[in-house]
Structure 1
Amino acid sequence: MRRYLPGIIAMAAIVVASNILVQFLFGQWLTWGAFTYPLAFLVTDLTNRFHGAAAARRVVFAGFLTGVACSLIGTQIMGISGPIVTLRVALASGTAFLTAQMLDVAIFAALRRRSWWQAPLVSTLLGSMVDTVLFFTIAFSARLAMIDPGADIAWANEVLPLLGLGPALPLWVSLALADWMVKLALALLALVPFRMIVARFGRHLRTA
């Protein structure tokens, strides 16, 4: 347990930071949380590389529990139109995080013996795509309004050009696409610290 405690601490810090920063807009389509949350995949992949899939799942579960705690706190903080975290957002966040991260762990484990970049890149790309689809669909799709009938999602379903340029679609689709594009870019950039950390601490690498 002590060996992967740094991963648990890092994951918890990323989840807390992302839950705070998601309240602050970055441009028209993103929040600052979009730039911190993808680092969770880097933490998961490094834990998987050094300590194996079982340890990575424990780190993911620690992050999940941290996210649940953040959501519970958020439901008690009132904003202008109600709690800053609605039931739908809390459910979407927890479902997306746990599903995407566990998928990341499984894909990484399956590819871990291939070229060094394949496991972290493929697992992160697929995991982040699932994360984005699940979160934005559960949180904002009008078709799932029955999850939390009292939640105000009208703003997210306003029909606008996709990212201001494309076909007319609900706003949440533009938000989801912008979010995934950031995750895609960070998945590529994260290969640099992943490679450097693995090279630096390679003697501790678990190959089982």
Structure 2
Amino acid sequence: MSSSKDSCGDHGRRCERRRWWRRCIGYTLLFLFLVLLAIFITWLVLRPTKPRFYLRHATVNQFNYSGPPSNLLSTVFQVTVSSRNPNDRIGVHYDRLEAYASYRYQQITLRARLTPLYQGHNDVVLWSPVLFGPAIPIAPYLCDAIKGDVASGFLQLSVRLEGRIRWSVGSWDSGRYRLFVDCPAFLTFQNGVSTAEGAIVQFQQPSRCSVEV
């Protein structure tokens, strides 16, 4: 009889331990669910809107194309890009941001690293990088397009920015999100003529950029 009672006691203790573990797991899952639900509700209430970018100014100080057979393009660009945070309660951390120029989907300058910064509610920030393209090889299929644009004195480029951003609400910061900005620039060579030394081209009409986050 004593052995039977001990067996029943051991079984009861095992059942109690199982119930205790089930309660712990249940409370933990409930706590995680409530935390995630609170974050989700906060996100819906705040409704973060991606920042708005504009190309404010662009100056092309050098645009020299060597032509076949080397097909090398040397460029120097001075650009000014602005960003506005349209959110009333959410700040934006720009952890990493790089700018470069593109011609018909080919990168024609090196990447310029922009200063990391925090953008407060409804704040506007400016970057004015100089973009260098020292003897960049151009794809053969672009040769005729470049020669035609140089001859006509009209040039269409894209100023692009890529990086990582975080949303900030009070002391809480989100994870990092990839940022991609594409700013079209429609440029006209000075007096409609380009020279072997490179014409000075200016673009002064603000252009709205497309933004992906």
Note whether the superposition's TM-score is higher than 0.5. no
Q: Which has the larger radius of gyration?
A: 2
> What TM-score results when the alignment is normalised by the length of structure 1?
0.28
Richer in helix (by share): 1
TM-score by structure 2 length? 0.28
Q: Which has the higher strand share?
A: 2
